[in-house]
Chains A and B, each alone.
Chain A
Amino acid sequence: DIVLTQSPATLSVTPGESVSLSCRASQGISTSIHWYQQKSNESPRLLIKYASQSISGIPSRFSGSGSGTDFTLSINRVESEDFSVYYCQQSYSLPLTFGSGTKLEIK
């Protein structure tokens, strides 16, 4: 199974700061990584597909990068509505797996 390791587990930031969240795969997965946001008591929402491809309706401050084993979700100038948990997911091979999440909290 492909293990996805997300870091840090928790990130404390001030609104207006820019942040980068990491997702590392246990083996090379090309760009088959996708990012989700899950706000408290809500369902996950797709943010980025195939490492860097944008999703309709998602604010442009969210962007993704990486290939192989190292991936990054970047948020340019965090807004109050962005404080939530972020998960990465791989579709390179079965079983489909998720990272354990990064919680973005207000400092």
Chain B
Amino acid sequence: EVQLVESGGGLVQPGRSLKLSCAASGFTFSNYYMAWVRQAPKKGLEWVATISTSGSRTYYPDSVKGRFTISRDNAKSSLYLQMNSLKSEDTATYYCARHYSSYLNWFAYWGQGTLVTVSS
């Protein structure tokens, strides 16, 4: 059974940093593109980042490019999201998600999410 378990969320002040983690199990982690998707309170879904199987390629929307960094450790079956220069508009539940295959397509599996609140 595919399992994705996020951790690292919490309350952080504007301008500060936070690093999220996602522990994956139930599949061969190194074979899949992985992603982060967020959802602001009572809002819709927003794609945040995707990383290739080896970690050599990363993809971001303009809203987080230059501030967020996605990374992975295939030996540990773990995904990370380093978030710097956080803004109030980054407040959201952050989901770890697995793409269907080794490409940026749909999100086949989702974690339960971790809440990040950016506030002074």
Q: Which of B61-117 contact A (CB under 8 A)?
A: 61-62, 95, 100, 104-113
How many chain A residues touch B (CB < 8 A): the figure is 20
Tally of A-B Cβ pairs under 8 angstroms: 52
Instruction: Tally B residues with Cβ within 8 Å of A.
Output: 21
- Hey, which chain A residues are within 8 Å of B62, CB to CB? 95
User: Is A45 a contact of B61 with CB atoms below 8 Å?
Assistant: no
> 4 closest Cβ contacts across the A-B interface?
A95-B61, A34-B106, A43-B110, A96-B47
- B46: which A residues are within 8 A, CB to CB? 98
Within 8 A of B (CB), among A24-55: 32, 34, 36, 38, 43-46, 49
Assess A43 versus B95: contact at CB under 8 Å? Given A49-B100, A91-B105. Answer: yes
The answer to whether A98 and B100 touch across the interface, beta carbons within 8 angstroms, is: no
Complex A-B: 17 CB contacts under 8 Å: A38-B45, A43-B111, A43-B112, A44-B45, A44-B95, A44-B110, A46-B106, A46-B108, A49-B106, A87-B44, A94-B61, A95-B60, A96-B61, A96-B104, A98-B44, A100-B44, A101-B44
Docked Cα-Cα span, A44 to B62, in Å, equals 23
Judge whether B59 is part of the interface by a CB distance below 8 angstroms. yes
Judge whether A44 and B47 touch: CB under 8 Å.
Answer: no
Residues of B within 8 A of A (CB): 44-47, 50, 59-62, 95, 100, 104-113
Does A97 lie at the interface of the complex (its beta carbon under 8 Å from any beta carbon of B)? yes
Query: Which A positions have Cβ atoms within 8 angstroms of B?
Result: 32, 34, 36, 38, 43-46, 49, 87, 89, 91, 94-101
Complex contacts, B100 vs chain A, CB 8 Å:
49
Count chain A CB atoms within 10 A of each CB in B46, B62, B106, B109 and give the residue with the most. Answer: B106
